[in-house]
Chain A
Amino acid sequence: MTTTDTALASPPAIDLSKPIQWQDWWRNPYPLYRVMRDEAPVYFDEQNGCYLLTRYEDIWNTLSDYERFSNIPFDLIGHPERSLTPFRNADPPRHTWMRQIVQPLFTPKAMRALAPYFNGLADELLDAAEEGDVVEVSSQLAIPLPGRVTCDLLGLPKERHQLFLDLTAERLKLLHAQYRGIGADGARRFEEVRADLWAILEPIAAQRRIKPENDAITLCFQEQDRVGRDQLSDDLVVDMLLALLTGGFHTTQHLVEMLLSLFADRDDLWQRLRADPTLVAPAIEEMLRWDPPVQALPRFANQAQEIAGVKIPEHSVLYMVFGSANHDERTFADPETFSLDRKINRHTAFAVGVHHCPGAPVTRFEVRALLEKMLGRYKRIERAGPSARMKISMTSVQAMHGFEKVPVRFIRA
Chain B
Amino acid sequence: MPKITYVEFDGASHVVEVPVGQSVMQGAIRNDVPGIEADCGGACSCATCHCYVDAQWLPLTGGPGEIEAAMLDLADNVHPDSRLACQIKVSEALDGLVVRMPKSQR
Which residues of A are in contact with B by a Cβ distance under 8 Å? 60, 63-64, 66, 92, 96, 99-100, 103-104, 107-110, 112, 343-344, 346, 350, 352-354, 356, 360-361, 364
Contacts and interface: CB of A to CB of B under 8 A. Distances in A.
Nearest to B35: A344
B39 A350 contact: yes
A343 B105 CA distance: 14
A352 B70 CA distance: 20
Contacts of A107: 47, 74-75
A361 B48 CA distance: 11
B68 interface: no
A322 to B, nearest CB: 13
- Among A64, A104, A361, chain B packs the most CB atoms within 10 A around the CB of A64
Contact of A66 (B32, B43, B104, B106): B43
Contacts, number: 52
Contact of A354 (B40, B70, B76, B105): B40
Nearest to B104: A108
A307 to B, nearest CB: 16
Interface in B38-54: 38-43, 45-47
Contacts of A96: 45
B39 A352 contact: yes
Interface of B: 29, 32, 34, 37-43, 45-47, 70, 74-76, 104-106
Contacts of B105: 108
Given A107-B47, A343-B34, A364-B106, A353 B40 contact: yes
Given A66-B43, A356-B41, 18 more contacts: A64-B43, A100-B70, A103-B74, A107-B47, A108-B75, A108-B104, A108-B105, A344-B34, A346-B29, A346-B38, A352-B38, A353-B41, A353-B43, A354-B40, A354-B41, A354-B45, A356-B40, A360-B106
A356 B46 contact: yes
19 contacts: A92-B43, A96-B45, A103-B74, A104-B74, A107-B75, A112-B76, A343-B34, A346-B29, A350-B39, A352-B38, A352-B41, A353-B41, A354-B40, A354-B41, A354-B43, A356-B39, A356-B40, A356-B41, A360-B39
Contacts of B38: 346, 352
B45 A99 contact: yes
Given A343-B34, A344-B32, A346-B29, A108 B106 contact: yes
A57 to B, nearest CB: 10
Contacts of A63: 41
Contacts of A112: 76
In the A-B complex, the 6 residue pairs with the closest CB atoms: A64-B41, A353-B41, A107-B74, A354-B43, A356-B39, A352-B41
A352 B40 CA distance: 5
A103 B46 CA distance: 9
Given A344-B32, A346-B29, A364-B106, A108 B76 contact: yes
B74 A109 contact: yes
Contacts of A352: 38-41
A361 B106 CA distance: 7
A333 to B, nearest CB: 10
Contacts of A343: 34
A364 B106 CA distance: 9
